Chains A and B, each alone.
Chain A
Amino acid sequence: MPSLVILVLSLLVLPTGLQAQPTDLEEQLRAISKELRCPVCQNLSIADSPSEMAQQMRALIREQLKEGKSPKEIKAYFTSKYGEWILLSPTTKGFSLLVWILPFIALTGGIIFVLLVARRWVQRKGESRPSEVDPALIQRVQQDVSTERVWEIDPEIEGPRAHLLNEQARLYTELQELEFDYQAGRLSESDYEDLRPRYEAQAAKVLRELDSSPAEAMSKKRPHRAERQAKDAGPAQNGKAQSRRGWIFAATGAFLLVFGVTLGIFLSKSLRPRGSEQDSITGDFLTGTGPGGLSADPGMRRADLQSLLTQGHAAFERQDWSQAIDAFKKVLAIDSDRPEAHTYMGLILTQAGHVDGALLAFNRALSTNPEYPLALWGKGMVLYRDKGDLSGARQNLQKLVSLLPSGKERFEVQKTIDELTNRQATPAKSKQSVTNPSRIEGTISVDSKLKAKLDSGDALFIIVRSANSAKGPPLAVKKIDRPVFPLSYSLGPENMMMSGRPFGGKVNVSVRLDRDGNALTREPGSLMGTYEKNPVEIGTQGVDIILDQVL
C-alpha cells in the first residue's frame, strides 16, 4: 500500500516527460511477459507468476529491451529455447492453427445439430406447412370430410396401413367436429381458420402416404390381443422394436460401465496428492513423472539409497573394497534389511576370508528375501569352497537353479552343482590334491598396481596350451565376459578348441584380459598373467594366476 501511494505521488510530482521512457519499458515488459508461459507454473504467464524462474525471465526481458531488441525478437528468443510451448496463445500456423479453428467448427456443428433436432421435433408434432401439400389432396380431404360418413378408429385392424387408416379416421373426425363446433358458434372464426388448414394438411399427408403404400387385404379382428401401442406396427415389428430397444439399453449400460471403470482406473493411477508446491498431480502409471508426491524427505533418502547401492556396486566391481564397504554400510544405516547390501557385504567378507561373517551376512539377506539369487549363490559357494558343507551348498545352489531363468547363469550354477555332486560321490582326500582328473581349477586376481587399468568392457581369456608344443592353436580356451576379480574358474574338456584330442598331460596355463574381447587380436593395454608353476598337470586345483603384465 505505501508503495502504491509513493507511485501515485511520484506520478503526480514528476514531469511526465521524464517518466515516459521507463514506463514505456515496463509496459513493454509487461506486455511481453503476459504472452509468455512460465515453465514451472501451470498456465500462468511470466507476468503473473511469483516464481524465481519467472523473475529471472522478466529480468532477462528487461535487459533485452534495454539492448534495443523488439518484442518480436524477444519472443523469438524464448521460442528458440523452450519451443512453441512458451507462447500462451499458440501461433496461427501449422498444427497450432487447429486450436484456433476447432472451437468454431465445434460451435457451428453444435448449432447445426440443434437446428436439425429442433426441426425434427417440429415435424413430429405435425406442423408441416400447408404450402408443401398438394392442393388436389386437400380438395379430396375436404370432399371426404363433407360426406356424412362416420370415420371410426379401429384399434384392432392390422397390417402396415393400419396406423395410416386410423390416423386418417382421427383427422377426419377432428375436422368434422371442428366444422360442427364452428357452425354451432362454439369456435371463433380465427381459431377455425387457423386449425382447419392445419388438420387438412395433415390429413392430406396421410392420404398421400396411403396412396403410395400398396393396398393390402386387411386382416381384421384377429382374436388375440392387439394392444393400443401396437397401432403403429404389426406384432412382428413390435417385437423387433422391443428387442432393439433392449439392445440399446444393454449397449448403453455396457458403455457406461466400461467408461466408468476406465475413468476410475486411469484417474486413480495417474493422479496423486501433491507433495509440495513444486510437485505435479499427474504421474507414475501414465506419465512416468516418477517418484514424488507426499513425503519428500523419505523420498530423498530412498533416492540416496539407490545411488549408494549403485556406488557400492561400482566400487565392488572396481575391487575398491573400502569404498564398497563404506557405501553398503551407509545403505544399511538407512535400511537395515536391504538384502543387496547384506549380500555384497558377505561377498566382500568372503574375499577377505572372513567366512563366518560372510555366512552371517548371507543369512541376514536371505532372512529378508529367501529368494535373493546373489545371496543364495554366495552362501552356496562359501559352504562349498570354504566350509566343505557340500549338502548345504547343494541345497542353496539347487534353490538358485530353480529360481533362475534358463540361460548362461543357470548353466553355470548347474555346472557347479554337478561338480559338487561328483565330489560328494568321490570325497576329496585333501583340498589341494588332484580331485577332478580332467579339470584345471583355481582363481585369477589382478595385481594391485594394475587395478586402475580395468575396464568394464573387458573379456578374460584363460588359455591352456600343451607344454610340448608352443606353436599351433591352444588346447583349450575359456572366455569370461565382464570378469569380476578375484575370480574362480574351472576349465574342462568342454572348453577344448578341437574335440577328439585328449584333455590331459602337462600344460601351460596363462590368462589375458582383452580390451575388445577378440581373442585373435592383442591390443596394447591388455593385461596378461601366467601361472607361476607352469607346466602343470591337468587335474590340478589351486592354479592361481595373477594378472601382472601389461601388453
Chain B
Amino acid sequence: MPWRRILLTLAVILPLVAVLAFGFSRDPRYIASPLIGRPAPPFTVTLFDGKTLSLADLRGKVVFLNFWASWCPPCRAEARDLEAVWQRYRDKNIVFLGIDIQDTEKEAFAFLKEFQITYPNGRDASGKISIDYGVWGIPETFFIDPEGRITYKHVGGLEYPIIVAKLDEARRGLISAKEGKGAYQSIR
C-alpha cells in the first residue's frame, strides 16, 4: 500500500519537475523563426551613401543580410569578422548587406568608421524591414540563396569559419534545419 502511494506521489511530482526542468532549460526570449526555407521578404533600403538597393536586384547572388545596431556589443564583436569575410569573398557572387536598426545615423556612421566596414549598409528607421524578417535579437543574420530563399538564420555574433561555411551552403541552396545561436542582445 505505501509503495503504491509513493508511486502515485512520484507520478504526480515527476511530470511537474520535468515541466520545470524543461522550462528552465529554455531561453524565454528565444523566438524560433518560421522564415527559414521561405522566400526572403522583399524590401528596398536607402544606403548610407545615398543610393537605394532592392533585394530583388540581388537575385542570382548569395546575400548575407545582417541586422545590427551600434549600441549592441555582440554586433561590435562580429563586425571585424564580417568585414574580413567580405574582403575575401566580395568578388565571388556574394553580396553583404547590413541593415542598421533602432539607431541614430551619427552613431551608425561612427560604428562603420570604427570597424572600417566597406560593404553596403542602410538604415531601417521605421523598423519595417526588421519586423518583416521577424527580428528580435541582434545581430541577426539571414543567408539568402541565389533564388531568393532564406537558407539559414543566425541570432547572435558570427565568426569567420561559420560565415564561410554558411555562405557556401547558401550558394548551393542548402537549407539548414536549425537556426544558429550565439551571444545576442535583445532589441529595444
Q: Name A residues whose Cβ lies closer than 8 Å to a Cβ of B.
A: 39-40, 42, 51-53, 56-57, 59-60, 79-83, 85-86, 244-245, 247-248, 251, 255, 259, 266-267, 270, 278-280, 282-283, 286-292, 296, 299-300, 303-304, 306-308, 310-311, 314
Once the chains bind, are B183 and A291 in contact (CB under 8 Å)?
yes
What is the chain A residue whose CB lies nearest that of B38?
Answer: A80
Once the chains bind, are B28 and A282 in contact (CB under 8 Å)?
yes
Give the CA-CA distance A456 to B102 in the complex, in Å: 37
Query: Residue among B2, B5, B80, B159 with the most chain A CB within 10 A?
Result: B80
Once the chains bind, are A40 and B81 in contact (CB under 8 Å)?
no
Once the chains bind, are A57 and B131 in contact (CB under 8 Å)?
yes
In the complex, which residues of chain A have a beta carbon less than 8 angstroms from the beta carbon of B157? 303
Once the chains bind, are B134 and A311 in contact (CB under 8 Å)?
no
In the complex, which residues of chain B have a beta carbon less than 8 angstroms from the beta carbon of A40? 29, 136, 186-188
**B177 located at the interface, meaning its Cβ lies under 8 Å from any Cβ of chain A in the complex:** no
**19 more A-B contacts (CB under 8 A) besides A40-B188, A83-B34?**
A40-B29, A52-B187, A56-B126, A60-B128, A60-B131, A81-B34, A81-B131, A83-B31, A251-B6, A286-B25, A287-B24, A287-B26, A289-B27, A290-B156, A290-B184, A303-B74, A303-B77, A307-B78, A310-B159
Contact indicator per residue, chain B 18-61, by CB within 8 Å of chain A (1) or not (0): 00010011111111111100000000000000000000000000
Can you report 14 A-B residue pairs in the complex whose CB atoms are below 8 A from each other?
A40-B186, A51-B188, A57-B131, A59-B127, A60-B128, A83-B33, A85-B31, A245-B2, A287-B26, A288-B27, A289-B27, A310-B80, A311-B81, A314-B160
Give the CA-CA distance A40 to B181 in the complex, in Å: 17
**Which of A53, A82, A307, A310 makes the CB contact (< 8 A) with B127?**
A53
**B146 located at the interface, meaning its Cβ lies under 8 Å from any Cβ of chain A in the complex:** no
**B79 located at the interface, meaning its Cβ lies under 8 Å from any Cβ of chain A in the complex:** yes
In the complex, which residues of chain A have a beta carbon less than 8 angstroms from the beta carbon of B34? 79-83
Once the chains bind, are A39 and B136 in contact (CB under 8 Å)?
yes
**Which of A86, A286, A290, A304 makes the CB contact (< 8 A) with B24?**
A286
What is the chain A residue whose CB lies nearest that of B184?
Answer: A290
CB distance from A89 to the nearest CB of B (A): 17
Give the CA-CA distance A113 to B142 in the complex, in Å: 52
**B133 located at the interface, meaning its Cβ lies under 8 Å from any Cβ of chain A in the complex:** yes
Known A-B contacts A40-B136, A251-B6; A314 and B84 likewise in contact (beta carbons under 8 Å)? yes
In the complex, which residues of chain A have a beta carbon less than 8 angstroms from the beta carbon of B74? 290, 303
Give the CA-CA distance A312 to B187 in the complex, in Å: 30
| B115-172 interface with A by 8 A CB criterion | 126-128, 130-134, 136, 156-157, 159-160
Once the chains bind, are A311 and B80 in contact (CB under 8 Å)?
yes
Give the CA-CA distance A310 to B160 in the complex, in Å: 8
Contact indicator per residue, chain B 79-94, by CB within 8 Å of chain A (1) or not (0): 1110010000000000
Size of B's binding interface in residues, CB under 8 A? 49
**B17 located at the interface, meaning its Cβ lies under 8 Å from any Cβ of chain A in the complex:** yes
Once the chains bind, are A280 and B33 in contact (CB under 8 Å)?
no
Query: Residue among B6, B73, B160 with the most chain A CB within 10 A?
Result: B73
**Which of A244, A247, A299 makes the CB contact (< 8 A) with B73?**
A299
Once the chains bind, are A82 and B6 in contact (CB under 8 Å)?
no
CB distance from A404 to the nearest CB of B (A): 22
Known A-B contacts A283-B27, A296-B73, A310-B80; A52 and B131 likewise in contact (beta carbons under 8 Å)? no
Once the chains bind, are B181 and A248 in contact (CB under 8 Å)?
no
Give the CA-CA distance A291 to B183 in the complex, in Å: 7
Once the chains bind, are A308 and B80 in contact (CB under 8 Å)?
yes
In the complex, which residues of chain B have a beta carbon less than 8 angstroms from the beta carbon of A247? 2
Give the CA-CA distance A57 to B135 in the complex, in Å: 12
Give the CA-CA distance A286 to B80 in the complex, in Å: 29
CB distance from B16 to the nearest CB of A (A): 11
What is the chain A residue whose CB lies nearest that of B102?
Answer: A52
In the complex, which residues of chain B have a beta carbon less than 8 angstroms from the beta carbon of A245? 2
CB distance from A128 to the nearest CB of B (A): 20
CB distance from B158 to the nearest CB of A (A): 11
Give the CA-CA distance A292 to B183 in the complex, in Å: 8
In the complex, which residues of chain B have a beta carbon less than 8 angstroms from the beta carbon of A304? 76-77
In the complex, which residues of chain A have a beta carbon less than 8 angstroms from the beta carbon of B17? 259
Once the chains bind, are B73 and A59 in contact (CB under 8 Å)?
no
In the complex, which residues of chain A have a beta carbon less than 8 angstroms from the beta carbon of B182? 290
**B185 located at the interface, meaning its Cβ lies under 8 Å from any Cβ of chain A in the complex:** yes
In the complex, which residues of chain B have a beta carbon less than 8 angstroms from the beta carbon of A57? 127, 131
What is the chain A residue whose CB lies nearest that of B31?
Answer: A85
Give the CA-CA distance A283 to B185 in the complex, in Å: 12
Give the CA-CA distance A38 to B184 in the complex, in Å: 17
**Which of A248, A290, A299 makes the CB contact (< 8 A) with B2?**
A248
In the complex, which residues of chain A have a beta carbon less than 8 angstroms from the beta carbon of B130? 56
Give the CA-CA distance A51 to B102 in the complex, in Å: 11
Once the chains bind, are B27 and A287 in contact (CB under 8 Å)?
yes
**Which of A80, A303, A314 makes the CB contact (< 8 A) with B76?**
A303
**Which of B5, B26, B134, B186 makes the CB contact (< 8 A) with A81?**
B134
In the complex, which residues of chain A have a beta carbon less than 8 angstroms from the beta carbon of B35? 81
What is the chain B residue whose CB lies nearest that of A51?
Answer: B188
**Which of B24, B77, B132 makes the CB contact (< 8 A) with A282?**
B24
In the complex, which residues of chain A have a beta carbon less than 8 angstroms from the beta carbon of B26? 287
Give the CA-CA distance A141 to B138 in the complex, in Å: 84
What is the chain B residue whose CB lies nearest that of A311?
Answer: B80
**Which of A53, A255, A303 makes the CB contact (< 8 A) with B187?**
A53
**Which of B73, B76, B183, B188 makes the CB contact (< 8 A) with A53?**
B188
